[in-house]
Structure 1
Amino acid sequence: MFKFELNQLVNISISDEWGEVKGRAEYSAHENSYFVHYKAGDGRALTAWFDESDLHVVEDERHPGCAVYAGRELPLGAVVEEWCITDGT
């Protein structure tokens, strides 16, 4: 089972940089890994694999416990509504 979803925003624990989960991998003898596209501290855009234990969720400050997902351009006339689903953990 994966801790993070595709397109979810995550923090990289060691550097406090953040990015978007672009891919996931599971292994029989190792923890899950995530392919994260992020902006490095020096401003460069990078993509790299990180172990699940090296990441933590970016939360919406207005809605503690709710994950944040990468934004996408909405079709003309679309309306954004705020909502949050938590799994109780």
Structure 2
Amino acid sequence: MNRYLVILLRKPHVDPTVVSAHRDFLAELRAQGRNAMNGPFGDGSGGAYLLRANDLDEAIAIVQRDPASISGGWEITVREWQAS
């Protein structure tokens, strides 16, 4: 599997109730072996998670199921990450 860095930046009007659903989604991904790590940025502007997927299309499909994506409250970028 490849690794994808998913970067989420908060928009001005984030629904705080979505944060809990987003965290639950990340926990599900971790249980499936798809979320290697995740966490918020220190300045509160958003966060990131490291996703395992077969290819970019699969990574994007997974991210589109994230409540943060569905809610529209975050700008989300997905990049293949070739960390050593």
* Structure with more strand by fraction: 1
Q: TM-score, normalised by structure 2?
A: 0.30
The one of the two structures with greater contact order (alpha-carbon pairs below 8 A, sep at least 6) is 2
* Structure with more helix by fraction: 2
Find the structure with the greater CA-based Rg. Answer: 1
Q: TM-score, normalised by structure 1?
A: 0.29
